[in-house]
Amino acid sequence: MRLVAGLLLLALGGASVNAQPLTPEQIDQALEAYRRILIDWGSLTRYGSENSELRPQPGRVVFLGDDITENWGPEFFSGKPYLNRGIIRQTTAQMLVRFRQDVISLKPVVVIIQAGTNDLASVMGPSTEGTMAEHFMSMVELAQHNGIRVVLASVTPVCDCFTKKTDRRPAGKIISLNGWIKDYAKKVGAVYLDYYSALGDGRVMKKEYTVDGLIPNAAGYARMAPLAEKAIAEALAR
């Protein structure tokens, strides 16, 4: 049964032949995550109930993202009108599906869009830079049409500090996508938020800023927080 599960994960892009073998618990967690995806591909139920109970709030900012955003603890923005709408394993396509519910309907003044790392890793299947670009553009256009200022965050670096990460998220592809995000942000009047440079050492993430080579640790998020605050202020100033 474990072998069948492992083969299923490989087929779905959830594991790599060059990576270290998954533990039974990791396989169970991954299979449960994919089960939820089959039931609710865009994860509209993840924040749906919480969103329905929210009241309007001045100065609201929505952080829309993937693993990097969801794992960001609230202690860095304590007492501020910021909403974390990150979902582990999500791609730009899935974020676009839930963009109206998890961003527009909440009426924020700013949205920070942090996405792309799971597209590069083919978590939901193969994805080209052109396809990613279309999803980014659609989200930005939706936000700006609804009077929401946009911050586009870079894809964060990865490292092979603990397990192999660069095979699925090569530094060259991350740098290329970040270059496009930066150029597009300038073109449409959005703010570019450069997490990559703050967390990186050359082309990889610094070991002291990550728990596993992909997700930042407390020190990593502490580096990111002031950059996010600065980007929000810049977006509001525009």
Asked if residue 203 and residue 166 are part of one domain, the reply reads: yes
Shared domain for 28 and 128, answered yes or no, is no
Quickly state the pLDDT bin for 15 (edges 50, 70, 90).
very low
Residue 17 in this model has a pLDDT that exceeds 50: no
Q: Is residue 199 part of a domain?
A: yes
Q: What gap in Å lies between CA 61 and CA 82, rounded to an integer?
A: 5
Please give the average per-residue pLDDT across 80-100, as a whole number. Answer: 96
Averaged pLDDT, 4-23: 50
Which CATH number do you get for residue 172? 3.40.50.1110
- Clarify whether residues 70 and 7 are in a common domain: no
Count of C-beta atoms within a 10 Å radius of residue 187: 10
Confidence at 238, pLDDT banded by 50, 70, 90: confident
40 CB-near residues (< 8 Å, 6+ apart): 46
Q: Based on the fold, state whether residues 200 and 94 are members of the same structural domain.
A: yes
106 found inside a domain: yes
Distance separating alpha carbons of residues 218 and 228, to the nearest angstrom: 15
Domain co-membership, 14 together with 120: no
Residues 99 and 189 in one domain: yes
Number of domains forming the structure of the chain? 2
Within a domain: residue 122? Answer: yes
SS3 state of residue 148 = coil
Judgement on whether residues 192 and 103 belong to the same structural domain of the protein: yes
Q: What is the pLDDT of residues 206-236, one digit of tens each?
A: 999 999 999 999 999 999 999 999 999 999 9
The better pLDDT of the pair 13, 36 is held by 36
Same domain? For 72 and 137 the reply is yes
- Asked if residue 49 is part of any domain, the answer here is no
Of 66, 21, 19, the closest CA to residue 167 belongs to 19
| Per-residue pLDDT at 118 exceeds 80 | yes
Give the domain range for residue 196.
Answer: 57-237
Write out pLDDT tens, residues 134-181: 999 999 999 999 999 999 999 999 999 999 999 999 999 999 999 999
Structural domain contains residue 112: yes
**Residue 205 covered by a domain:** yes
Determine phi and psi for 156, rounding to 5 degrees: -80, 155
What pLDDT does 4 receive? 42
Q: Residue 46 domain-assigned?
A: no
20-78: per-residue pLDDT in tens? Answer: 577 888 677 677 767 767 776 788 889 999 999 999 999 999 999 999 999 998 877 88
Residues 129 and 159 in one domain: yes
Residue 34, SS3 per DSSP:
helix
